A and B are shown apart, each in its own frame.
Chain A
Amino acid sequence: MATSVLRLGIPGRRWALAWIDGGSRHRSGTQPGPTSNRARGQSSVTQLSLRTAQKPRKGEHKWAAVVGLEIHAQICSNSKLFSGAQVCFAAPPNSLVSFFDASLPGTLPVLNRRCVEAAVMTGLALNCHINRKSLFDRKHYFYADLPAGYQITQQRLPIATNGHLTYSIYIRKKQSQVTTKTVRIKQIQLEQDSGKSLHDDLRSQTLIDLNRAGVGLLEVVLEPDLCCGEEAAVAVRELQLILQALGTSQANMADYEIQRQITELENGGEVLNETRSFDYKLGCTVPMRDKEGKQDYRFMPEPNLPPLVLYDATSLPSDADSQQVINIDQLRDTLPELPSATRERLVQQYGMLPEHSFALLNEVGLLEFFQNVIKETRAEPKKVTNWVLNTFLYYLKQQNLAVSESPVTAGALAELLDLLDSKAVSSAAAKQVFEELWKGQGKTAAQIVSEQQLGLMQDREALEQLCQATIDGHPQTVMDVKKRNPKAINKLIGLVRKASLSRADPTLIKEILEKKLSL
């Protein structure tokens, strides 16, 4: 399967150029480019296309920022949009290029069924109207990594229009304050990707690799309903999760990169009172008015492709070859559970807070981990949620590990939670066991407990003796307790605990003490 990237494209700009330029002198920000993420094996590509237009709102004299976005997501498919060359991330230069991709004369485009299905599914997931007939166009511009001199896209009549994407914004200062917002989707279209350019400024040349040329892209155009960079980031994140859930795109993206660019734009955007566009090369915003009319794309219908016709259950011709027709209703039935539905289900099923469900979905593989633990443990879901989000995730983040790299398996955590549930260990001891488990030395929770003698004292008599000894040893404190000093009892409990080397259950200690002191 191909690794795919989520790229936010700049309208009319050569974003392929900027992709390789990441970290070059053109970038004005101080953060490092995408290179630091490459170590993790992710294709981290982000170009932002934010049109910050500032419109006056009625009744206000201030300007309000309005942000529109265009997002290009690489479709997860085996072969390219119009040719049979493979889609694959790292491969020798120009090895995944067919004659059509190299735009050799006499070659023609042949549409990939999987890409159409991906577009329809994405359109359905984003509540769009799917156009039963859509058209392909050519968008012309000159660039070395676009061998044909044009890109086949769907400008006039795209495959899907008029949808919406719902996302939730946290107000972190207030506990659990979640607002749901919606951004309208103008259209979703299929288009070709261009090749890759590597700039060699020293020798004044550009090296061209066409492996990526012709790969299918989904362009998702959002209406300018977003009011700030933060909202844009959340909306894009939600789109990313949806695409990953659908499997239409792996949508790997450097989140920090996105945030950085959005912040940059925001900072620039506040001073402006006109429509500006983020010029990637210059790393700052430039007035759009100057750019309008600078580039003539000479759109024309793609003469080699008839209109793309989609069917539904009612319009499907009875004698149709199933390989040659796409049934929208059939695709709708195969849509998997979308992130919003998953979160809803988690809240209902496990009684967790919405923010917990967000956290579980936000980390790759975390939800699966959580569900595996739930399956194998007797402990309450709330306990599991707490341990997974507060302890497990904390350890992961500290060492910057992915869930798949965790030294603690779901089974190991489940076993630990069982021990905790049966009161074989105290809460504090359990944390110690977890730390030991994290070292990944292959020991089970039970083994660690017995080795380090972290198990709770099971012998009630021994505990009673310990309590008695503590009472005898601290007459002053006992007197305070008898005087109903509320802090004194805690002190006693603490003393017993220390004496027991943290192997006693505090609630039990309290019970015994209270009985002994006849409270």
Chain B
Amino acid sequence: MAMAAAATATAAHSNVVIRVRVAPSSSLRRSRSKEMWARAMWVRFRAAPDRGRGFASKASPQGQVQAAGQGTGTPSLALQGSGRVPTEKIEHLERLALVNFGSREAVARLEKAIAFAEQLQAVDTDGVEPLESVLENRCLYLRSDNVAEGNCAEELLQNSNHVVEEYFVAPPGNISLPDMVNRIPSPTAE
């Protein structure tokens, strides 16, 4: 994408602000006649609200690793000096994302990916509003409150191999996390 290329190109020049005029590619008429400045593609998430249910997964108090793209506003490098991700953090990520890093190589790949993404921090986005949606100038269509759909149980149930009397069938509810953690030993222990 043009924007990404521009971003990496200017990564070396941290005090240059990207300003590129973007010609509208669709036939949408803008409501504003001003020129559209491209916004930085990277969305800066606001710091999580105090209730702890904030936007990004909470940064662990010990590690300073921030998962790619979920910065809390600090522009400095997020990884600890050596670029290594601490073991506790890996285990935490494994639990949350239900992935298995499996080997030292996989973790190294993760660390490289984080370092690569960090380059975007070099872009100065002070005073630039984040672009949350490319639809931001469109009107949100409001549907009137009429019943127009439904009554297709048979059709929907055909999508499932296994149904019981018009119910979809799923495996039993989530296994509670403590039980799961105890069963699977962590492979990243070194």
Contact = CB atoms under 8 A, between A and B. Distances in A.
A17 B150 contact: no
Contacts of A94: 153, 156-157, 166-168
B181 to A, nearest CB: 10
A197 B153 contact: no
Contacts of B171: 144, 204-206
Interface stretch (B33-41, B112-120, B129-137): B129-137
A475 B181 CA distance: 95
Contacts of A93: 153, 165-167
Nearest to A82: B143
B141 A208 contact: no
Interface in B93-109: 95-97
Interface in A88-147: 92-100, 102, 104, 110-116, 135, 142-145
B58 A293 contact: yes
A179 interface: no
B179 interface: no
A292 interface: yes
Interface string B53-75: 11111101000000000000000
B172 A78 contact: no
Contacts of A83: 149
Nearest to A198: B167
Given A12-B53, A294-B177, A207 B150 contact: no
Contact of A205 (B143, B145, B159, B172): B172
A149 to B, nearest CB: 12
A95 B166 CA distance: 9
A301 B44 CA distance: 12
Most buried by B among A94, A112, A301, A308: A94
Contacts of B16: none
A155 interface: yes
B152 interface: yes
Interface residue range, chain A: 35 or more
B165 A14 contact: no
Interface SS of chain A: helix, strand, loop or mixed?
loop
A59 interface: no
Interface hub of A100, A294, A301, A324 (most chain B Cβ within 10 A): A301
A113 to B, nearest CB: 4
Contact of B147 (A86, A298, A301): A86
A77 interface: yes
Nearest to B67: A296
B174 A85 contact: no
Interface string B163-187: 0111111111110110000000000
B173 A84 contact: no
Contact of A11 (B53, B141, B146, B148): B53
A278 to B, nearest CB: 16
Contacts of B156: 94, 97, 99, 102, 210
B13 interface: no
A199 B171 CA distance: 9
B143 A110 contact: yes
Contacts of A79: 143, 145-149
Contacts of B141: 110-111, 324
Interface in B36-51: 43, 46
A28 to B, nearest CB: 16
Interface in B9-29: none
A207 B167 contact: yes
Given A143-B174, A292-B52, A210 B145 contact: no
B173 A293 contact: no
Contacts of A197: 170, 173
A14 B150 contact: no
Contacts of B132: 135, 301, 307
A210 B168 contact: yes
A323 to B, nearest CB: 7
Contact of B145 (A92, A114, A207): A114
Contacts of B52: 292
B138 interface: yes
A83 to B, nearest CB: 6
Contacts of B153: 92-95, 97
Given A97-B152, A295-B96, 13 more contacts: A85-B150, A104-B159, A115-B145, A145-B170, A156-B55, A198-B167, A210-B156, A293-B57, A294-B95, A305-B133, A305-B135, A306-B135, A309-B140
5 contacts: A113-B144, A135-B133, A144-B173, A205-B169, A206-B173
